[in-house]
Amino acid sequence: MKKLRRKVYMAAGYNTISLGTGRSEFNPKKPRPGIEHYIKEAGQGTLKQIGGAKNVDEGAMGNFMAPRFNKQGNLPGLIPMIDDGLQWKPCTRTEGACASGALALMSGMKSVLAETADVVLTVGFEVQNTMKAIYVADVLAGAGWFQKRKDGHAYFFPGQFSNRAGAYYEKYGMEYTRKGFKKWFKNAIENARLCPTAQEYENKVEDLDALYDKIKLNGKAFVDNLSVLDCSKVSDAASAIAICSEEGLKKIGIAKEDAVEIIGYGQVERNVTLDPPDLTEVTTIKKAAKEALESAGITINDLATIETHDCFSIAGILATEALGFAERGKGAQFVADGNTSRDGKIPMNTTGGLIGWGHPTGGTGVHQAVTIWEQLTGKAGKAQIEIPKDRPYGMTINMGGDDVTVVAIVYKRG
């Protein structure tokens, strides 16, 4: 992996709330905000921090399924809606299932590296509560191969990752594995309670362990090997961040210490028509993370925090192994021992991740970047963790489909 030929920074992140079940504002029987509301709020939230639309050279939009969820295509045309000053500027839309947001980040980064832009406004969003959950699951199945979808579970992706969990149970033990799942869930909710925009921010359950144990696996009602507590949320949200060159930072008046530098990345694709080579390994994440770390010239031991794609608890466990923090089969124990907790060896998903903060599919990759920017610049509020001076690095891992499209990015405190 080649080193970046030009310095690239991210700054001025903004998240809307992640709206869905769990938020007091959410009522399925009442009208809710549409995509225009979310895109405009997130975009304007970033513009206010960078001196306005006049400083933006390009726009990049990450989204997965607005044509089906919201009957809206031609999404680049919604970027000028954010502010009249964005009219007539080049805009693009990226799609790679749940990794669409990170692909938008990559689009902006490549424009800066190509010296065609100094400031790129990047927005990721999804509004999914337009349908009942079973229909949402059908739309999200588009992240997989349609030929396989025809014979798949009604809850297609929960079914796919249930199969991964079942394979892990068979190989390493069910009771052992679910202790790791329970700790992952508990971390997600406790972290979300510290972030006002998180979907589980208002979760008041006192004994999360007891709640997790109470929800039994029931393949007749859901899937065989996961409960609803092992799953990410159906969420409506948007996130935005500015991607800048050094000259761009000067133009928008943001100091380097209030930005994060992108020092490495890995972007990897697996053939969507094939089954995963091993259900107990996320091979594409492993390859993308390795490329990102090599590009950055650091190791996992240099990282202070990671935002990883925990669409399901099994994905979180497998990520710890793919990254090399735990040996094969020992990821569940690594998590159960508290190593990924906010005060652990490697804090992960400090605002709740997909299970706690929410999973607006096309927006998740941008939300992850905003979280790392907040943590590395000390702007995370009550969710702030300690960033050691000798480990000023963070990483995001955004996955689309069943370990098909993966983008890993390494960030350094500015």
Catalytically annotated residues:
98, 359
Q: How far apart are CA 65 and CA 358, in angstroms?
A: 17
How is 356-380 classified by DSSP, letter by letter? HT---GGGHHHHHHHHHHHHHHT--
Question: Which residues neighbour 56 within 8 Å (Cβ) at sequence distance 6 or greater?
Answer: 47, 50, 85, 86, 89, 119, 120, 121, 242
The residue behind tokens 């706690």 is: 356
CB 226 within 8 A of CB 108: no
Question: Which residues neighbour 364 within 8 Å (Cβ) at sequence distance 6 or greater?
Answer: 98, 101, 124, 309, 354, 398
Region of 117 please: left (phi>0), alpha (psi -120 to 50) or beta: beta
CA dihedral for 224, 230, 236, 239, sign (positive or negative): negative
Position 304, amino acid: A
- CA dihedral angle for residue 194, residue 199, residue 200, residue 201, rounded to 10 degrees: 30
Q: How far apart are CA 343 and CA 348, in angstroms?
A: 10
